[in-house]
Amino acid sequence: MTYADLLAKWEQRRAEWRGLGVQVNGTAIADELLADLHALSQANALEELTLREAALLSGYSVDHLQRLVSSGQLENVGRKGRPRVRRGDLPVKPGHRLPSTEPESQFAARRRIVASVAKSGEAS
């Protein structure tokens, strides 16, 4: 299950329930949604990444991750010569921010700056 799958599932349910005027048990819905989120988290933790992908997520270089794999500190779940590591096993460099999964969010800060400058220009 992916994030997109989970989102689609719950959006579809919401639309169905809205159309039918369904009254629901909030606790039961929350339990099911939490179970889905936990399953998604588990699947993400088991995702196998190349060292290049792992470097982007962890903040450590490919060379450093390769050394961790070679020393056995990080399990190689791939093949010899083509190592892969599990997302859930990755160390994260202190202070490293994970890259956003939303393509537009990389420009969000720039958009806020431009909007604030535009608004201040209008006020003058």
The 3-state DSSP class for residue 102 equals coil
Its pTM surpasses 0.85: no
The 3-state DSSP class for residue 86 equals strand
30-61 pLDDT, tens digit per residue, is 999 999 999 998 888 889 999 999 999 999 99
Q: Quick one: residue 21, left, alpha or beta (phi over 0 = left, psi -120 to 50 = alpha)?
A: left
